[in-house]
Amino acid sequence: MVVTSLPVTPAIGYAIVVNVVRTVAALRAEVGASRTGGASIGLVPTMGALHEGHLSLIRRAAACTDLVVVSIFVNPTQFNDPSDLAAYPRDESRDVELARQAGANVVFCPPPAEVYPEGFCTCVRIDGPITETLEGAVRGPAHFWGVATVVAKLFGMVQPDVAFFGQKDAQQCVVVRRLVEDLDLPIEIEICPTVREPDGLAMSSRNVRLNHDERARAVALVEGLRTVAEAIAAGERDPREAAGAGIASMTERGVVPEYLALVHPDTFEQPAVIDRRLIAAVAAPVGPVRLIDNLFVEPV
């Protein structure tokens, strides 16, 4: 266990000390002591390179639970592209300080061998449209099996009362809800809204890899989604027509989506007609990175 020495937080009047732990045993010791003392436990799973989106989850966790655990683990099993895994930004000391400022009490930074020790051979496999469409179609369903497996492991390690996820990864949220329901896990899942840059771009750890021109073009994703919302507000009820309007808007801005689709918020099935609240979801390559975003859309 490493205890970072930190300044006094003026608003509270005493130092918030964040404990950085790297083993499941040390994590359990930290969390177990608090739980025995009656504390509620919040978990915010991340892959690091923290930004305001992550910090909003940590602040929310600090507001509704007594002990906030932030995990920082770049999970190899959910990467389908080795170069994406290798290029994933990492800066642990900066992340620990940001997490502390946002209200984290424990930061869990395990090495891969702690999460996947020799002999590890279990996979949480979720089938159906929620893992097979959109992100599952492009990255392969094993992407979400990797997510479900590591989230299940983190739930087992931390045993949180509440776990916090971002709407930015809408399909991941549905996968996690399914995991909790299907495996009867006694954990409340709270989904927090997507945090955006002033021009609307959804914050993402991958945004730092965009150059000036790519950063300007990246706003095409949210603009495409807004175009879909406007088409629906104007009366469009055909999902393909509405999505087509969004794709045209993106293409005009120099970004060609891998997909832009309307899906049911709980199942990720694609409806034949727009007659209820749906999610418009998009993915597109911009320069060296692949970005995703989504918006709720609703007929009025």
Shortest approach of ligand AMP to residue 14 CB, angstroms? 28
CB-nearer residue toward ligand AMP: 75 or 231:
75
Verify binding: residue 294, ligand AMP, rule CB under 6 A. no
Residue 54: active-site member: yes
Question: Which of 42, 53, 110, 146 touches ligand AMP (CB under 6 A)?
Answer: 53
Scanning residues 10 to 49, which ones bind ligand AMP (CB under 6 A)?
46-47
Verify binding: residue 95, ligand AMP, rule CB under 6 A. no
Shortest CA distance to 252 belongs to which of 294, 295, 202, 217? 217
For 200, left (φ over 0), alpha (ψ -120 to 50), or beta? Answer: left
CB-nearer residue toward ligand AMP: 242 or 282:
282
- How many Å apart are CA 44 and CA 176, to the nearest integer? 13
Residue 294 makes CB contacts below 8 A (sequence gap 6+) with 167, 168, 170, 194, 225, 279, 280, 281, 282
Q: Are 293 and 196 in contact (CB under 8 A)?
A: no
Other residues' Cβ atoms within 10 Å of the Cβ of residue 295: 22
- Pairing, β 19-21 against β 2-3: antiparallel
Scanning residues 185 to 214, which ones bind ligand AMP (CB under 6 A)?
192, 194-195, 202-205
Q: Are 284 and 290 in contact (CB under 8 A)?
A: yes
Shortest approach of ligand AMP to residue 94 CB, angstroms? 14
Shortest approach of ligand AMP to residue 13 CB, angstroms? 30
Shortest approach of ligand AMP to residue 153 CB, angstroms? 15
Binding interface with ligand AMP (CB under 6 A): 46-47, 53-54, 56-57, 165-166, 168-169, 192, 194-195, 202-205
Catalytic (active-site) positions: 54
